[in-house]
Structure 1
C-alpha cells in the first residue's frame, strides 16, 4: 500500500503538484497496486480536484 504522505516524505525536493503526479506514475509502473491519500499536498499549484488528478495519474499506467 502506497501512502501519499510516504511519497512526500521520501521526496523532500519535490516542489510542484506536477512532479508529484509524475512520481505516482513512476511508482505505479514499478508495481505499486494500491494508493491512499492521507494528506493534502501543500504545493502552490495543487488544484481543487487534487484527489481526482492523483488517482488518475496513479491508474493511468493501466
Structure 2
C-alpha cells in the first residue's frame, strides 16, 4: 500500500505537484498495487482535482 503522506515524507526533492505526480507514477511502476491519499499535497500548484490526477498517475503507470 502506497500512502501519499509516505511519499511526501520520503521524497524531499519534490518541488511541485507535477513532480509528485511523476513520483507516484514511478512508485506504482515499481510494483505498488494500492494507493491511499491521506493528506492534501502542500504545493502551491496543487489543482482542485488533485485526487483525480494522482489516481490517474498511479493507474497509468506500467505495472510489473
Which of the five TM-score ranges fits, normalised by the shorter chain?
Answer: over 0.9
Tell me by how many angstroms 1:13 deviates.
Answer: 1.8
Report how many aligned residue pairs link the two structures.
62
Measure, in 2, the Cα distance between the counterparts of 1:50 and 1:61: 17
Moved over 2 A (4+): none
TM-score (norm 2): 0.93
Measure, in 1, the Cα distance between the counterparts of 2:61 and 2:3: 18
Measure, in 2, the Cα distance between the counterparts of 1:18 and 1:37: 16
1:16-31 alignment, distance < 5 Å:
16-31=16-31
The corresponding residue for 2:49 is 49
Measure, in 1, the Cα distance between the counterparts of 2:6 and 2:58: 15
The corresponding residue for 2:39 is 39
TM-score (norm 1): 0.95
Structure 2's unaligned 5+ residue stretches are: none
Measure, in 1, the Cα distance between the counterparts of 2:49 and 2:14: 19
